[in-house]
Chain A
Amino acid sequence: MLKKSWIIFMRDFKVNLRDFLALYLLLIPLLFAFGINLLAPSINDTTINLGMIAGENPDQVAYFSQYAKVDVFSNQEDLDARIQRRDDFFGIVAESGEYYVLKQGNENEGVVDYAKVLLTFYEQDVQIEDTNAEIFDLGRTVPPMKKLLVNAGILFISVLGGMMITFNIVEEKVDRTIRAINLTPISRRGFIAGKSFMGVFFSLYGTIALIFITGFGYVNWLQLLTVVLLASIISILVGFFQGVRNDDVINAAANLKLLFLPLFGAIAGAELLSDKWQILLYWIPFYWAYKGNDAVLTQTASWPQIGLYAGIILAISAVVYFLLASKIREGLE
């Protein structure tokens, strides 16, 4: 059976190659990775943005540049215009020798306070040389945002694997080649396995490429692959289900929104929700995969922990499988 499944995989691979798809698929993880490498450093710098009038007080510009991103503007109108753009940006403006903070009006209080604190320090002439603090660090150079993007990238790639399965099956339906399978000696299980290889292959290749290019090559690979492989089971199941249930591309495309929804929800929820709300995400397998990947990427994962997450993902997958299995079988007939 394995050999026949392999033949199906190779055939899919060749067909996809002809459609340039394989090229995209090989490229997507690479582009993800390079994109993340480009994005991550600028996202990490989250100190406040300040603007001042050029030439008015060069010492002040130099002072604030130590603590914030500072832009200088040639006149007040330019500064106002910059503040009125849609991000958080503050002006430090003088009026008869006194400085005040100029804001747009839609910033949240915490950021405004940050600007006020810096202005207070400036007016009280607080200098780094007078510090009463000493800073040590643990030598970790990977910013959390980069880790988040890599983690999200891994999950996206796995979902993409699921989408490929869907479209491969739907295309076969449209071209009316799927029924021909019933005339071949391959069993249904073998056919499903063959079709799934593409998704698994893509998940694995994508993850490995992404991890290496973004500089996470030092992680525990066995743990990472455990999580990634299990997470791709869900993508494959859903991809398959969508493939056999839908007779044309448009329904399949619309249905795939249903796959992205929990993915986004899991990532956003895991990052933004406080602990007491996290329980709302427990039913989403991607949530556990995300947590597992996160632990692996920060190198804090222990095997019992990974085992627990893997077990939960497996259990959810099993439930999904029992719910969908009969429908997949029907769909193939």
Chain B
Amino acid sequence: MKLWHSFLKEMKLSARGFYFYVEILVAVIILVMILFVVPENFRSVEDEYLFYDWPEGVFEEFVLPTLMEDDLDGKIESVEVEGDDILYPAQLIESEGTRYYIFESEEAVLRLTDLDRPKIGAIIRMDEQSQPYYEYYLQGYETQRLRNVYSIFHILDFDLMEAEFESQEVRSLTDGYLELSDRENIVPAMLTFNGSMMGVFIIAAYIFLDKQSGIIKAYAITASSVWQYLMSKVLVVLVSTILSTVIIVVPIMRLQPNYGILFVLLLASGLFSSTLGLVVASFYRNMMQAFGILYFLMIGLMLPAIAYFTPSWNPAWVQWIPTYPLIQAFKETILVNGDIGYVAWVSLGFFIASGILFVFANARYKKTLVS
């Protein structure tokens, strides 16, 4: 009951301040950006700069048709690429992940590969037996493995390669998996950082506010216990977390997410970040002192976002950062047929961690509240 009263009081106080409204405003801005600014699918394309040093007509007869199969609009565009104030004419073939620029001279490829840094610059010649021969021009930071792949990429005859490639069997451990669009794919990262992890910062700010204005001392002479005071702060942060999450998720994902488990996860992660904030704040007197460590925490907690957006980069140590499973779990909640078991485990982990942090914070504040 006392907790409920403290919570209501805190809610009234925050409704009077700007913070709550800023939180909602930011959520609305994020929503508008995701809905209207972020394209549905935006995978970036990579460039390949090519020159075929072949007799007239051979390229058109043998290579062009294959390249055109993947072309998005079925048309070859004539373009000019600028480099050092010279315009180099080229034919552009645009497939889903790659833009092939076919230049008219060797010099164009060499010059522009240096200037524009495309993924690959290549000159394709013909050897004595009239077989194609490839010269790759790379930037220098490509790994040896990638270079090895380039070395063997064109050894097999194209038709044989295609037939063999198509005959390879791929089996899947799970099915019924529907990929998220690029736009939807941003949502888990946004939820993690806007919703859950901002709690660290916000709750610390709350505590410092009370410390500086002396409210915290007034608390010491009331009948409420310390844990009720702390918990009422945590609840306020949770309310704002849930509000801003709903604002973002509902319009974008509509009915697709499993909202039940999503709220459980939100609650667990919100508790975790706010109790973490409590613990950090207990060691400092004001925001300026705690600022450095909070900033570090935020940066550290953001690292898993790099891993999230680059699936081939997932070192083991990143997977130990709490936001790593959190982003992944958020993703599962908005997926069709998401792995609910995984989300449940992650939530449980966050609940347990929050419990431990809260008990620790409670002990710290009991000791330091009045000093």
Contacts and interface: CB of A to CB of B under 8 A. Distances in A.
Given A130-B155, A143-B141, A251-B18, A48 B312 contact: yes
Interface stretch (A2-10, A134-142, A199-207, A319-327): A134-142
A37 interface: no
B17 A265 contact: no
Interface range on chain A: under 10, 10 to 19, 20 to 34, or 35 or more? 35 or more
Contacts, number: 252
A257 B197 CA distance: 12
A120 B213 CA distance: 70
Contacts of A131: 151-152, 155
Given A68-B145, A108-B179, A137-B142, A280 B310 contact: no
Nearest to B293: A24
Given A44-B141, A251-B18, A253-B202, A104 B174 contact: yes
A246 B18 contact: yes
Contacts of A67: 145, 148-149, 152
B168 A120 contact: yes
Contact of B311 (A42, A88, A136, A257): A88
A254 B18 contact: yes
Nearest to B329: A86
B135 A138 contact: no
Given A120-B168, A128-B151, A249-B209, A137 B313 contact: no
B289 interface: yes
Interface in A61-114: 66-69, 80, 83-88, 93, 98, 100-108, 110-113
B288 interface: yes
A16 B287 CA distance: 11
Given A251-B18, A280-B37, A110 B202 contact: no
Given A132-B134, A133-B151, A137-B142, A42 B174 contact: no
A133 B150 contact: yes
A177 interface: no
Q: Most chain-A Cβ atoms within 10 A of its Cβ — which of B137, B201, B286, B311?
A: B311
A31 B22 CA distance: 31
A297 to B, nearest CB: 12
Contacts of B172: 102-105
Interface residues on B, range: 35 or more
Contacts of A101: 168-171
B139 interface: yes
A76 to B, nearest CB: 11
Interface stretch (B111-119, B248-256, B259-267, B354-362): B111-119
A123 to B, nearest CB: 7
A116 B155 contact: no
Contact of B295 (A28, A86, A132, A272): A28
A49 to B, nearest CB: 7
A250 B19 contact: yes
B33 interface: yes
A182 to B, nearest CB: 22
Contacts of A209: none
Interface string A27-61: 11001000000000011111111000000000000
5 contacts: A120-B156, A133-B134, A133-B154, A141-B140, A251-B17
Given A20-B289, A135-B151, A265-B33, 15 more contacts: A21-B289, A42-B315, A47-B146, A102-B172, A103-B170, A103-B173, A124-B156, A126-B155, A133-B134, A138-B139, A248-B205, A254-B26, A255-B22, A258-B26, A277-B39
Interface of B: 17-19, 22-23, 26, 29-30, 33, 37, 39, 42-45, 97, 113-115, 117, 127, 131-143, 145-156, 160-161, 164-165, 168-175, 177, 179, 194, 198, 201-202, 205-206, 208-209, 212-213, 286-289, 291-293, 295-296, 299, 306-307, 310-315, 319, 328
Interface of A: 16, 19-21, 23-25, 27-28, 31, 42-49, 66-69, 80, 83-88, 93, 98, 100-108, 110-113, 115-121, 123-124, 126-128, 130-144, 156, 160, 163-164, 167-168, 170-171, 174, 246, 248-255, 257-258, 261, 265, 271-274, 277, 280, 298, 300
